[in-house]
């Protein structure tokens, strides 16, 4: 069964399942606006299950906090080991707007020495940077010995937001997809350990989170003009991200996909994955544990299962 047939079948199932968007609810979804006074009930009800999320309830606070505490202790030990051995670690976070990248990064670095763990969130390139080799401004932020560089979005803008909104030419994205595996292979040969994480969420969950941001005076700053167009560009993003994952997943720099409708499960999965990729003294394998196969997938498995959902 092909990708389109899979998605058509999923829609038929969704029409019969509670928590999914039924046909009669489509008008509510179509009328959705980030700055509307209320979130349509159908969207709220369908949010957690959207995008084929496998759990029907969010993780409870107490077990989450307990696990997070133990995993953060392991992160402190991991950084100490990196510093002792002079190793370099770069972590790339990608995903749709409101996928939970910022929250996952905050939990990842919460107790790490800020002199050794840096978050890089670059804005629009300057005129000078636009005239340079595309990867150049990112290379300047690569970690030195004993450091972690965490990219809150990265060079993969050229495979996501830029082509979706026409900020680059199609041939520039095509060239990027060809060249990126070579760029990342060069980093690996130079000794940079690269971890790439893609957080995926369902359409109704994105609607719910963007709407929540608008109504939170402490979070509204996170919204940009592009965020207001994220929903209408949903399918364009899906196609762009599937192409990105397919072209840039490699043995030296593989993608790990994490289903992130439940922020707590996603944050724990992110930290576990990072810890599993690095060897260090004092590593407690019983704490690190195993990835949750329901929400943590390889790019190959994710794409085989249909990839990013389309409407």
CATH number where 161 lies:
3.40.50.300
In a domain, 310, yes or no: no
In a domain, 226, yes or no: yes
Domain tally, the chain: 1
Question: Over the chain, what HEC string results?
Answer: CCHHHHHHHHHHHHCCCCCCCCHHHHHHHHCCCCCCCCCCHHHHHHCCCHHHCCCCCCCCHHHHHHHHHHHHHHHHHHHHHHHHHCCEEEEEEEECCCCCHHHHHHHHHCCCCCCCEEEECCCCCCHHHHCCCCCHHHHCCCCCCCEEEEEECCHHHHHCHHHHCCCCCHHHHHHHHHHHHHHHHHHHHCCEEEEEEEEECCHHHHHHHHHHHHCCCCCHHHCCCCHHHCCCCHHHHHHHHHHHHHHHCCCCCCEEEEECCCHHHHHHHHHHHHHHCCCCCCCCHHHHCCCCCCCEEEHHHHHHCCCCCCC
Q: How far apart are CA 34 and CA 17, in angstroms?
A: 26
Q: Kindly tell me if the per-residue pLDDT of 175 is higher than 50.
A: yes
Q: Kindly tell me if the per-residue pLDDT of 262 is higher than 50.
A: yes
Among candidates 71, 142, 143, which has minimal Cα distance to 107?
A: 71
Q: How far apart are CA 146 and CA 54, in angstroms?
A: 38
The pTM of this model reads 0.90
Q: Which residue has 């929400």 as its token pair? A: 295
Q: How far apart are CA 104 and CA 17, in angstroms?
A: 30
Q: How far apart are CA 294 and CA 261, in angstroms?
A: 12
Computed over its alpha carbons, how large is the radius of gyration of the chain? Answer: 20
Q: Kindly tell me if the per-residue pLDDT of 26 is higher than 80.
A: no
Q: Is 248 exposed, middle or buried (0-12, 13-18, 19+ CB in 10 A)?
A: buried
The confidence band for 19, taking pLDDT boundaries of 50, 70 and 90, is very low
Task: State phi, psi for 100 to the nearest 5 degrees.
Answer: 105, 15
In a domain, 216, yes or no: yes
Condensed to tens digits (0 to 9), the pLDDT of residues 70-121 reads 999 999 999 999 999 999 999 999 999 999 999 999 999 999 999 999 999 9
pLDDT recorded at residue 9: 45
The confidence band for 27, taking pLDDT boundaries of 50, 70 and 90, is low
In a domain, 26, yes or no: no
Tokens of 60: 């409870």
Provide the β-strand partners of residue 254.
none
In a domain, 99, yes or no: yes
pLDDT recorded at residue 29: 56
Q: Kindly tell me if the per-residue pLDDT of 8 is higher than 60.
A: no
Tokens of 44: 């709220």
In a domain, 79, yes or no: yes
Q: How far apart are CA 280 and CA 124, in angstroms?
A: 37
Condensed to tens digits (0 to 9), the pLDDT of residues 35-77 reads 888 999 999 999 999 999 999 999 999 999 999 999 999 999 9
pLDDT recorded at residue 225: 87
pLDDT recorded at residue 12: 38
pLDDT recorded at residue 1: 45
Q: What is the mean pLDDT of the chain?
A: 92
In a domain, 294, yes or no: yes
pLDDT recorded at residue 4: 44
In a domain, 129, yes or no: yes
Q: Which residue range forms the structural domain that includes residue 90?
A: 59-304
pLDDT recorded at residue 17: 41
């Amino acid at each position: 069964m092909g990708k389109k047939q899979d998605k058509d079948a999923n829609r038929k199932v969704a029409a019969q399942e509670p928590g999914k968007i039924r046909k009669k609810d489509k008008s509510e979804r179509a009328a959705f606006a980030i700055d509307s006074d209320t979130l349509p009930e159908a969207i709220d009800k369908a949010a957690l299950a959207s995008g084929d999320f496998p759990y029907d309830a969010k993780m409870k606070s107490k077990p989450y906090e307990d696990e997070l505490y133990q995993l953060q202790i392991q992160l402190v030990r991991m950084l100490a080991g990196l510093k002792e051995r002079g190793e370099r670690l770069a972590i790339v976070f990608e995903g749709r707007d409101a996928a939970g990248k910022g929250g996952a990064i905050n939990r990842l670095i919460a107790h790490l020495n800020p002199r050794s763990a840096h978050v890089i969130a670059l804005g629009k390139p300057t005129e000078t940077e636009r005239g340079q080799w595309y990867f150049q401004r990112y290379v300047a932020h690569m970690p030195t010995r004993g450091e972690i560089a965490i990219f809150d979005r990265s060079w993969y803008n050229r495979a996501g937001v830029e082509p979706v909104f026409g900020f680059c030419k199609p041939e520039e994205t095509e060239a990027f997809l060809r060249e990126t595996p070579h760029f990342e292979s060069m980093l690996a040969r130079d000794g940079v350990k690269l971890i790439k994480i893609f957080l995926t969420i369902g359409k109704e969950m994105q609607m719910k989170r963007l709407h929540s941001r608008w109504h939170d005076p402490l979070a509204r700053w996170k919204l940009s003009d592009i965020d207001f167009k994220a929903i209408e560009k949903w399918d364009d993003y899906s196609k762009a991200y599937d192409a990105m994952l397919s072209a840039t997943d490699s043995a030296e720099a593989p993608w790990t996909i994490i289903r992130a409708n439940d922020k707590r499960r996603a944050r724990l999965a992110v930290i576990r994955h990072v810890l599993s990729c690095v060897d260090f003294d004092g590593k407690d394998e019983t704490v690190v544990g195993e990835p949750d196969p329901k929400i943590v997938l390889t790019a190959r498995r994710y794409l085989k299962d249909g990839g990013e959902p389309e409407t």
